[in-house]
Structure 1
Amino acid sequence: MKENRANRYSFINLIFWLFLIISAITRTVLLVKSIDTIELSFVEIAKIYLIGAFYDFVSAGYLVIPFVLYLFFMPQKFFSHTAHRYVTYAFTYILLFGAVFLAFSEWFFWEEFSVRFNFIAVDYLVYTKEVIGNIRESYPMGILLSVITAISGVVFYVLYKLDYIEDILNTKSTIKQRLKPTFIYLLIPAISFASVTDNFSKISKNQYNNELTKSGLYSLLAAFRNNMLDYDKFYITDKEESVLANLKKEIDSNSSAFLNSNDITRDIIKSGEEKDYNIVMIVVESLSGKFLKALGAEKELTPNLDSLANESLFFTNYYATGTRTVRGMEAITLSVPPTPGRSIVKRPDNHNMFSSGFIFKNKGYETKFIYGGHGYFDNMNEFFSNNGFDIVDRTDFSDEEDTFHTVWGVCDEDLLNKTLKEADSSYKAHKPFMSFVMTTSNHRPYDYPDGKIDIPSHTGRDGAVKYMDYAIGEFMKKAKDKPWFKNTIFVIVADHCSTSAGKTEIPLDKYRIPMIVYAPEILKAQVVDKVASQIDIMPTLFSVLNWSYKSKFYGSDILSPSFKERALIGTYQKLGLYKENKLVVLSPAKKIKSYEVVEQDLYDTKYKEIQIDRNLEAEIVSYYQGASTLHKKRLDRYEWQ
């Protein structure tokens, strides 16, 4: 038995087996956690474990690269030295601790997002201060680290008693003998890098099954590798002239006149007097449609928003473009579809975009991005400050203005009180204002000031939603006493939904959000049930303001009789068009699928796959290829007059 394991590369075998076993246990725990949502059959379960083991094996292949090189170059006299023995034992324990820690991390990530590690996890590694703070505030870290330490210790003790590592340390080898195993172990990740993609995980129509098939570590590495996706390389394309012609047809309106043949620049022409109404845009963290009673929610968590909805333009068939805050910001500010890969907010070349901020500024407005956290997170300050907005973030709050905060930022009451002060300042300067306000209280750890609502702080999402609603209610009461209130339009909209995972690749219910446009002295209350999305907010507001302006927006005025109902929604890889009760989805590897929406409510969506409608195919390609091409050519920039 000892002869079979008596070589230094048995340590690599040990890493493989430990990783595979811990990954299988993790997969089992996540499967049990999701037992009500997965497709249960012997074949499906077999696929989950067999293909999952394949991904785990590939992940381990990447993981062992530094150890393989270390063992190859380590001279025999140092390998057999007593000091190296202690180093090996210490490192083995650290490795065990890391593997168990990764398994626990996967559990909490799955609990929050119902997916394996992805773009979000990559961002979490970048913004460690906020993320570590959020984890410390959300979970009992002392207990968790103690449990992880104990589990790692037990496994290490078993290995120690079996003399497995001792046997490895007592072996001898020459560098020539180490050439072959080194080549084999390095060949595994080389082949995997060239040939393995996450397409192998697509075993089912049920997305939960597909996610369980993945390896968390592989998915994390893939997210690093694929943070930018070239549309032309990965998606269905058409001739540029056809794409542009179709795109112009889709975004054309009665009030627009295209100016160039090579892009979508057009004049929006309005007759009559332009208005200078103030705009307060409150973008609410994770405000799913399922939270509002006015949209049919089961619980009564938003009495203030429900009341406002009855007095407002209330958009009831409205969709977020993505599943991250930066996607909502991008769509609202720039009126662009969610192009694949990273959001424009997080891309390095995102200055001087064709932004609503510049349009407001050129109309004489004071424009401010108001955020209760540190705006360096997710590159927000960089994006907004270079696209027409002044910045008001956590660094601008005095101690008196910051009465309660979490790692994400000040509570919503403090944020909205600061918004009132900034509005007062603009009013005193005789300037109309546009405030883009980003809330944070409806984010884990769901902490907020005690005594405000009847749900204790730090007890879950329901309390955070109810507190957010309370804060907006208090803000509106105070705003009504302001001299600028009668001349102000308040927009309340979500950045994205509270969850994004579903049984299908793009579950419509996980993108459905409310939008409330409240201005009792300006707009008549009305329910608007047209299908629309976040890219339509600014064109609609500019129409309410009766502005003539040059536009490169992809969105349109929802209130116009000529508005073409559709919603553009996506993930960082999947690109969707929802129109006429059909959902068309573009995927990498130049794939396209079409579904009929059989049933949809606030909590679930049921689809039936259907034959591709060629008109919808041309339309979805025109939006996404068009947006990607114009961005690549820098034709989506603001041209100063």
Structure 2
Amino acid sequence: MWTFLFPKRFSLLKAFVFLFIGMSFLVRFTFFIWDYAEVDAQLSSIARTFATGLFFDIGTLPLFMLPFLIYLLVFPKKWVGTLVDRSITWFGFFLAILIIYFSFFGEFTFWDEFQRRFNFIAVDYLIYTYEVVKNINESYPLPLLLSSLISLVGITLFICYKRKLFYHTFNNETSFKQRFTATLPWLVICILFSFYISNSQAEWSKNRYNNEISKAGIYSFFAAFRNNELAFSEFYSTIPEKDAFAIVKKQYSPFKDEFVHPNKNEIYRTVHTPDTTGIEQKPNVIFICIESLSGKYLNSLGSDLNITPVLDSLANNSLFFTNLYATGTRTVRSMEAITLSIPPTPGRSIVKRSNNTGLFTIGEVFKNKGYDRNFFYGGDGYFDNMNTFFGGNGFNIVDRGRGFLLDANINVKRTNIEDDEVTFENAWGVCDADIYNKVLKEADIAYATGKPFFDFVMTTSNHKPFTYPEGKIDIPSGTGRNGAVKYTDYAIGAFLKEAKTKPWFKNTVFVIMSDHCASSAGKWELDVANYHIPAFIFNLSQQPNAKINTLCSQIDVFPTLFSTLGWDYKSNLFGMDILKMTPQNERALIGNYRKLGYLKDNKVMVLGDGETVNFYQWNPLDNGLQQTPMNESFKKIAIANYQVADELYHNGGLQLKSLHQ
């Protein structure tokens, strides 16, 4: 059999196949041991996990080997062993070995960060090599990794040479028929996996860890590359479009919103906020979007870590939302949720898609009330397309630019964070204290104009490599997440303390909320507890402080703020006023790039891209999901919210120009 599949001309190919299978098994076994406490470790589940993994490894091989297979098949027999053949073969084999070792090394760092095989995040990271490479260099011993990588490649080539695999490849009498016969099975496998096998078929278990371990990293990468955006209508369960819009519109009935075009498939409406004084408040608004702050780190949400004293003090001196959930697992997903106030659509965030400018955002509400709008980021806003999204939706940009210009069609002001304004900087940008100092400086300038401002501030310090200025807190820089969380909290405290000395403080509201949790990974389709984040509205002049236990979502925070300010406004936002929610209409929307969840009454409906619909009872005590009989009404509401969000994006219903027609 081996001679049939691997004649002498295919000797190096045979070595590559066994090396790839062996390394894949080693990686899979390592992940299994790494998260042994999370996986389903029943013998049958273990067997299926590794058998499925082997199946996908075999399917990955021909996709990877295709160029060399074609070369071996068509290269003229009379030229075999010539200098040209040797040069191409040595270089090609070296490159292939380098790539697989590099990808396997990369899988370990990716798993450490996300507890997943390569997905669309890895695809995105190819674009932003500066930040990613710098982050890896600051987080891991890169010289050691690179030297180990090169050493492994060298050792592999040496072993292949000593075993005379190069000799057999260049000195043989393998006929075209033998080469074609050896190539044909791999071509068949290549066709099958290209057109009939999907990465989702590796997801056979209810345990997410088993599913991820079952996958092949390289195959997952190319699957993600191909499916960065998923059309809801093609991949998810749907209901008639008219019914979907009717269900979503009905959600706003208790709030007495008036739809501008009642007979159209849109949610554009007028929101009325009853106010006894009849006077709208127009304070400055500074929104701090905190990187990766899970609710579990706050004592006020049940922690005993004592690393967030500032935020815990705010819990008693603000509107504190104790039961609020992020819509997604990445910063750009939160930016989409917060600015557009929209459920997550499958695939990549709208922030990174085409047709993502000229949209109705919360910034449009502020604009219509006479506000200037500014986006602050401590790194280069080119990363993750942030500058294009915010600039293209009317926000001025304040960032640590490195020469990338805004699109010529984006007519907003861009301000750089200069070198003399930076005391500490890592791969992701300046430390939180530095970005807050820039916010204070720009607020002073804005105050002098007499025009109210809305600042969207994105922090970076609570991100790997978890480095920050030494001497500010009692946990050394770079030692882990707890230190980064404590520094993040310290920096907010220092910022608020300085802000209180400013003449504009009394008339400024501070909204503080996390973008997403530190980790969304878990054993379930959607790990509900890992979407729980803190949110505060601080310094409201006419609103009593309170702890709000209503189940709600990231998309609801700014509609709630607008209500507390007594605003009537036009809205294309999905979010609702949390303070007016009742048990009948409270809910949360959570998801990742493929799974979309609707949470209500400790039940969660999960929509999958194979038109799957699973209904679970969620146990907050152990974060477990127990499958429960389908509730058709619940299912329709869940589908409607996501289907309408996707439809509005694709039919232009989020665009300002379409709303004004």
TM-score normalized with structure 1 length: 0.96
Count of matched residue positions in the alignment of Structure 1 and Structure 2: 638
**SS of equivalent to 1:426:** helix
User: Quick one: distance in 1 between partners of 2:570 and 2:381?
Assistant: 29
Aligned letter for 1:423? A
Once the two structures are TM-superposed, the CA of residue 207 in structure 1 deviates from its matched residue by 0.8
**SS of equivalent to 2:460:** coil
Residues 240-267 of structure 1, C-alpha deviation per residue, up to 9 Å, x if partnerless? 1111111101233434111222211111
The alignment status of 1:588 with 2:609, answered yes or no, reads: yes
The alignment status of 1:132 with 2:133, answered yes or no, reads: yes
What does 1:45-194 correspond to in 2, within 5 Å? 45-173=46-174, 178-194=179-195
User: Quick one: distance in 2 between partners of 1:175 and 1:101?
Assistant: 33
1:570 paired residue number: 591
1:32 paired residue number: 33
The alignment status of 1:284 with 2:290, answered yes or no, reads: yes
Aligned letter for 2:269? R
What does 1:368-379 correspond to in 2, within 5 Å? 368-379=374-385
Aligned letter for 1:267? T
Q: Is the 8 A contact 1:253 1:562 kept in 2?
A: no
**SS of equivalent to 2:126:** helix
2:203 paired residue number: 202
Residues 568-624 of structure 1, C-alpha deviation per residue, up to 9 Å, x if partnerless? 110111010000110000011211011111234xxx511211011111111001101
User: Quick one: distance in 1 between partners of 2:139 and 2:3?
Assistant: 49
Once the two structures are TM-superposed, the CA of residue 83 in structure 1 deviates from its matched residue by 5.0
**SS of equivalent to 1:349:** coil
**SS of equivalent to 1:596:** strand
2:327 paired residue number: 321
2:565 paired residue number: 545
Once the two structures are TM-superposed, the CA of residue 174 in structure 1 deviates from its matched residue by 5.4
1:412 paired residue number: 432
Once the two structures are TM-superposed, the CA of residue 177 in structure 1 deviates from its matched residue by 5.3
2:600 paired residue number: 579
Once the two structures are TM-superposed, the CA of residue 562 in structure 1 deviates from its matched residue by 4.8
User: Quick one: distance in 1 between partners of 2:365 and 2:322?
Assistant: 28
User: Quick one: distance in 2 between partners of 1:11 and 1:143?
Assistant: 28
Q: Is the 8 A contact 2:340 2:573 kept in 1?
A: yes
Once the two structures are TM-superposed, the CA of residue 10 in structure 1 deviates from its matched residue by 3.8
1:598 paired residue number: 619
Aligned letter for 2:419? D
What does 1:447-596 correspond to in 2, within 5 Å? 447-519=467-539, 521-562=541-582, 564-596=585-617
**SS of equivalent to 2:635:** helix
Residues 440-494 of structure 1, C-alpha deviation per residue, up to 9 Å, x if partnerless? 0011111111111111111111111111111111000000011111111101101
Aligned letter for 1:525? N
Aligned letter for 1:61? P
User: Quick one: distance in 2 between partners of 1:465 and 1:78?
Assistant: 63
- The 1:370–1:170 alpha-carbon spacing in structure 2 relative to 1, beyond 3 Å, is same
What does 1:273-422 correspond to in 2, within 5 Å? 273-395=279-401, 396-422=416-442
Once the two structures are TM-superposed, the CA of residue 522 in structure 1 deviates from its matched residue by 4.1
Residues 148-175 of structure 1, C-alpha deviation per residue, up to 9 Å, x if partnerless? 2223333332222211231122124555
Aligned letter for 2:511? V
Aligned letter for 2:129? T
User: Quick one: distance in 1 between partners of 2:280 and 2:447?
Assistant: 19
User: Quick one: distance in 2 between partners of 1:172 and 1:543?
Assistant: 82
Q: Is the 8 A contact 2:550 2:578 kept in 1?
A: yes
Which piece of structure 1 moves more, 71-80 or 457-466?
Answer: 71-80
User: Quick one: distance in 2 between partners of 1:238 and 1:87?
Assistant: 55
What does 1:199-238 correspond to in 2, within 5 Å? 199-238=200-239
2:404 paired residue number: none
User: Quick one: distance in 1 between partners of 2:257 and 2:536?
Assistant: 26
Q: Is the 8 A contact 2:7 2:174 kept in 1?
A: no
**SS of equivalent to 1:584:** strand
Residues 200-250 of structure 1, C-alpha deviation per residue, up to 9 Å, x if partnerless? 222322111111111111111111011111111111111111111111012
**SS of equivalent to 2:258:** strand
- The 1:620–1:12 alpha-carbon spacing in structure 2 relative to 1, beyond 3 Å, is same
Aligned letter for 2:137? R
**SS of equivalent to 2:534:** strand
**SS of equivalent to 1:122:** helix
User: Quick one: distance in 2 between partners of 1:21 and 1:550?
Assistant: 60
Once the two structures are TM-superposed, the CA of residue 561 in structure 1 deviates from its matched residue by 4.9
Residues 485-544 of structure 1, C-alpha deviation per residue, up to 9 Å, x if partnerless? 111110110110000110111011110000011116443210000000111012111111
**SS of equivalent to 2:200:** helix
Q: Is the 8 A contact 2:550 2:581 kept in 1?
A: no
What does 1:247-266 correspond to in 2, within 5 Å? 247-260=248-261, 261-262=263-264, 263-266=266-269
Q: Is the 8 A contact 2:11 2:168 kept in 1?
A: no
Aligned letter for 1:625? Q
2:656 paired residue number: 638
Fraction of identical pairs, as percent? 45
Once the two structures are TM-superposed, the CA of residue 278 in structure 1 deviates from its matched residue by 1.0
**SS of equivalent to 2:620:** strand
User: Quick one: distance in 2 between partners of 1:515 and 1:417?
Assistant: 22
User: Quick one: distance in 1 between partners of 2:178 and 2:107?
Assistant: 38
Q: Is the 8 A contact 2:7 2:179 kept in 1?
A: no
User: Quick one: distance in 1 between partners of 2:68 and 2:542?
Assistant: 68
User: Quick one: distance in 1 between partners of 2:541 and 2:213?
Assistant: 52
User: Quick one: distance in 2 between partners of 1:599 and 1:302?
Assistant: 23
User: Quick one: distance in 1 between partners of 2:315 and 2:242?
Assistant: 43
**SS of equivalent to 2:468:** coil
Residues 355-402 of structure 1, C-alpha deviation per residue, up to 9 Å, x if partnerless? 111221121101000001100111100000111211111130112111
- The 1:200–1:40 alpha-carbon spacing in structure 2 relative to 1, beyond 3 Å, is same
Q: Is the 8 A contact 1:599 1:607 kept in 2?
A: no
Once the two structures are TM-superposed, the CA of residue 136 in structure 1 deviates from its matched residue by 0.8
Q: Is the 8 A contact 1:367 1:434 kept in 2?
A: yes
The alignment status of 1:44 with 2:45, answered yes or no, reads: yes
**SS of equivalent to 2:586:** coil
1:268 pairs with one of 267, 271, 274: 271
Which piece of structure 1 moves more, 558-567 or 577-586?
Answer: 558-567
Q: Is the 8 A contact 1:251 1:555 kept in 2?
A: no
Once the two structures are TM-superposed, the CA of residue 90 in structure 1 deviates from its matched residue by 4.3
User: Quick one: distance in 2 between partners of 1:626 and 1:200?
Assistant: 27
Once the two structures are TM-superposed, the CA of residue 183 in structure 1 deviates from its matched residue by 4.0
1:619 pairs with one of 637, 640, 648: 637
Q: Is the 8 A contact 2:288 2:458 kept in 1?
A: yes
RMSD of aligned alpha carbons: 1.8
Residues 266-293 of structure 1, C-alpha deviation per residue, up to 9 Å, x if partnerless? 1112342111111100000001001111
Structure 1 segments unaligned to the other structure (5+ residues): none
Aligned letter for 1:113? F
User: Quick one: distance in 2 between partners of 1:255 and 1:566?
Assistant: 19
User: Quick one: distance in 2 between partners of 1:402 and 1:252?
Assistant: 50
User: Quick one: distance in 1 between partners of 2:3 and 2:296?
Assistant: 62
Which piece of structure 1 moves more, 22-31 or 91-100?
Answer: 91-100
**SS of equivalent to 1:8:** helix
